[in-house]
Every structure is written in C-alpha cells, then in structure tokens.
Amino acid sequence: MPLTEFTAKFPVFPEALFDWHARPGALQRLLPPWSEVRVVSETGSFADRRVVLSVPVIGPLRWKWVAQHSGCERPRLFRDSAVSGPFPKWVHTHEFFADADGCRLSDSIDYELPLGPVGRLLGEGFVVDMLRRMFRFRHARTAQDLARHAEFADRRRLRVVIAGASGLIGTMLRAFLTTGGHEVRTLVRRQPNEAEAEIRWDPSGGLLDAAALEGVDALIHLSGRNIAVPNWTEAKKADFVRSRVDPTCLLAQALSRMANPPRVMIAAAATGIYGNRGDELLTEDSLPGEGFIPDLCRRWEEATAPASNAGIRVVNLRIGVVLSALGGALRQMLTPYRLGLGASAGTGRQYVSWIGSDDLLGVFLRCLFDDKLSGPVNAVSPKPVTNAEMASTLARVLRRPAVLRAPAGAVSLFLGEMGRTILLESSRVVPSKLESAGFQFLRPCLDDALRWELGVG
C-alpha cells in the first residue's frame, strides 16, 4: 500500500497557510495547468466539501473523480478521500506544522493502484513521478501566490466585480483573488445564482443591475469575442467591435452615474493597438498603429472615458499573448508541436509580445492597489521574442524539432486577415509603466514561462 509524502516550508503562520487552502479557488490554483484536470463542482462547507473532478484517461476519454473532505482541524490538518475515481484508495492528508520561521506543510498520499500487483508493477513508477511533479508545482505556486498577496498585506481585502469571469483569464483571476482573501462577484448574462455571488447584465440589451455595484472597490472588465478565428468577414469584424465597445460603454457610463462607484476600473485591452511596427520598441507613450485591430483597440479604450471623466481611476490593460496550457494560443500550438510539426510563420522576424499567466495575475493585483497606475498599461513580459524564437523555444521545451516554416502566402491563403494580423504582424512591446512601478516578473524569460506552464523540468 504506497504512502508518499511531500513537504515544503512557507514563511507564514500555519493559520494563514490553512486559510489559503480553505478559500474558494484554492483547488483550481493547485491543479497543474498541464494536467488537464478540471474542477466540475465543489459543494458544502470546507470541512465537509465534496469535490467532483474530470480527469483525462486516454485521448478524449475522461474519468469522474469524486473526493470528500474530512478530519478538518484548523489550522492543523484536513483530508480529502476519493469516493470514486481511478484509484481504489486515495487519502490525501494535509498537515500544517509551526516552526521557527513560519510553517511546514506535509502532503501525504495513501493510495492503491488498480489491477493489484499488475498495476503496481506497471504503474507505480509513473504515479510517483506524476505526484512528484504535481506537488513540486503545487508548493511553488502556493508560495508565489502567498508572496504576491503579502505585498499588500497591510491593505484591507477588496470587493471586486469581474465581467467576463468565465473566460480563460477571468477564471484564473477569480481563483487567484479569492484565495488571497478578496471577495469576488461576477457579471453573468443568464439568470444569476445569488449563492454564487452573480450579478445580472445584458450588454446587447443595455441592461445592468448597477445597484449591485454600489460600494464595491473595483470592477474588472474582460469581456470580448475571441478574434483568433479564421476568415474574418465584415460581419465578424463588426461583432468583434460590438462585443468590446458596447459592454465597456455600458459599464463605464453606469459607474459614472453611481453615488458610490468603485475606485478603480481595470478594462482589458490589447497590444494590438500598436499595429504592425517592425522592431520599433513600443511603450505606453507610443502612438496607435493603423488598421482594423488598432482602430478596434482605440475605440475599446475610449469607451472607458465616462468612468475616467467621473474621477474613477481607469487602467486600460494592454495584454499581450497570454501563455497558459489551459487555453489560448499556447494550447492551440501544443498538438502540432508535439507531433513535430511546429513552424515559424512568414520571415519569423516579426516580434511577439507575450506574458506568462501567473505574471498577468500579478499585474492585475498590482493595478488594483497601485494608485499610480492608470491609463494604458502594457501587460507583457519585458523580453519580447521573434516568431522564430517562439517556435524554436517551444520546440526545445517539448523536445521536438521545429524546422518547418509557414510562408506568408500560405498563412494569408488559409487564415485570411486573421492570419496576417496575428501571425505575420510585428509589435515589440515592453512594460514601461510596470517596470517604473517596480513590478517584479516571476518568469520574464520565455523558456522559463513555457517550462512552468507545461511542467517540464
């Protein structure tokens, strides 16, 4: 009966570490992005919480894993035990021990492999390696999240409303903020679930329950239709604009009329505002470029004017390519690269401005608290790379070749204006305002960011 234990030290009291694990979103923060394990539901109080996970098996096949919390003794320990799932037995005990300079966390897993002796012979080495990688990640992310939130430990916890919380960034951000002790409510376009702290809105109909925003500290707006789809038509382009500008106008105007509005509005924008600029170094002071995407981004940012004119601090967060194994560009690239079909596009000399997912969450947190940050803020790594460097680095991390090249003509033929805009245009953007504010990037280098997201040592 295997019993495996992993330990780590943290510079906080056991109560603080226990509470981080007990808050909503902790499990989501602890699941490695490369594992493809998804949280289906979490019900009940923390002491008797029931968790349902969706676990990959082979290809599209997935297994439902149900676990139950028990033995909760704050701040000493809690357990989660498998009710059903791939293992006949799985009991994970989390124990928290005080020491001279903080505390020690012990994660011990008592488990049995399926198929008895055959399962142990064929699978035990794989499971131990999987656990080692998983807990190395869990402990590292816990430490980095605690450190991020500790920067603002002397400030009161915030009440934050997020529009677009169901998307890739919104899902990660909500979990990150709630584990830091902040209260997060979400705007939804369906009938709201009050138990989930949801607020009704309908941007297409101009409807918003503005009264529910009274007294909140911050509004984060992330809504917008995905533009990474081939063959843009005029109707699609109009929808891209409408899905960004109209909701932003609705929110900004509502905030401007409130008696007690949020003190800060963080509105997602994009580095696409700079357009195709070759190797020109682009800061927040650089002028917008020309073309459809720069014009869309300019209108998107201008839509926040009613809020800023009303004296609310507005941050237009110009986000680069977000690297996350959970979705977005990186996830789309993984399959062809793992098959050895990774390729640079066009000349490969065009710049890609990117940011790691955890660094982006840190940027949001900094913008929530730092009153000096307002207007355009570039949310990108300080080390942009060329398209060819992106291709070769990802291939190297995955231990695959990347000798192919997609000619510009082929990109344009198969992907149309989207391919030309996203894959062939160049924007070398740097985070001038964040660096001036002293923001510390966890992984400013592409190789480190990719290895972290993909669990490659």
Task: Name the pLDDT band for 121 (thresholds 50, 70, 90).
Answer: low
Residue 55's region, left for phi above 0, alpha for psi from -120 to 50, else beta, is beta
Q: If phi over 0 gives left and psi between -120 and 50 gives alpha, with beta otherwise, what is residue 127?
A: alpha
pLDDT digits (tens, 9 = 90+) for 74-102: 999 999 999 999 889 999 999 999 998 89
d(CA 314, CA 245): 15
- Residue 270, pLDDT score: 97
Per-residue pLDDT band at 118 (split at 50, 70, 90): low
Q: What is the pLDDT of residues 46-71, one digit of tens each?
A: 999 999 999 998 878 899 999 999 99
Q: What is the pLDDT of residues 368-378, one digit of tens each?
A: 999 999 999 99
Q: How confident is the model at residue 3 (pLDDT cuts 50, 70, 90)?
A: confident
Res 222 pLDDT > 90: yes
Question: Half-sphere exposure of residue 358, counting CA atoms within 13 Å on the CB side?
Answer: 27
pLDDT tens string 425-450? 999 999 999 999 999 999 999 999 99
In tens, the pLDDT along 315-359 reads 999 999 999 999 999 999 999 999 999 999 999 999 999 999 999
Q: How confident is the model at residue 191 (pLDDT cuts 50, 70, 90)?
A: confident
User: Tokens at residue 305, please?
Assistant: 């004017």
Domains, the chain, ordered by start? 3-150 (3.30.530.20), 159-454 (3.40.50.720)
What is the tens place of the pLDDT at every residue in 131-167?
Answer: 999 999 999 999 999 999 999 999 999 999 999 999 9
List C-alpha distances in Å: 420 to 265, 271, 337, 382.
32, 16, 21, 24
**For residue 59, is it left (φ>0), alpha (ψ between -120 and 50) or beta?**
left
**What is the spatial order of strands in the sheet that 50-56 belongs to?**
3-10, 102-112, 89-99, 77-84, 62-73, 50-56, 38-43
- Give pLDDT tens digits for 381-423: 999 999 999 999 999 999 999 889 999 999 998 889 999 999 9
**Residue-by-residue DSSP string for 109-130:** EEEE-TTHHHHHHHHHHHHHHH
- State in Å, rounded, how far the first CA of the chain is from the last one: 28
Q: What is the pLDDT of residues 203-221, one digit of tens each?
A: 988 899 889 999 999 999 9
CA-wise closest residue to 208 among 169, 171, 252, 241: 252
Q: How far, in Å, CA of 266 to CA of 136, rounded?
A: 33
Query: Considering the entire predicted model, what is its pTM?
Result: 0.95
Among 13-27, 107-121, 205-219, the minimum mean pLDDT is found in: 107-121
- CA 16, 21, 24, 27 torsion-angle sign: positive
Q: How far is CA 264 from CA 256, 258, 308, 364, in A?
A: 12, 13, 9, 11
Binning pLDDT at 50, 70 and 90, where does residue 379 land? very high
User: Does the pLDDT value for residue 275 go beyond 60?
Assistant: yes
Q: Can you give the pLDDT at residue 123?
A: 65
> What pLDDT, on a 0 to 100 scale, did the predictor assign at position 340?
94
Q: Rounded to the nearest 5 degrees, what angle is found at the Cα of 441, between the Cα atoms of 435 and 442?
A: 170
Task: State percent of the chain over pLDDT 90.
Answer: 86
Strand-pair partners of 50: 43, 68
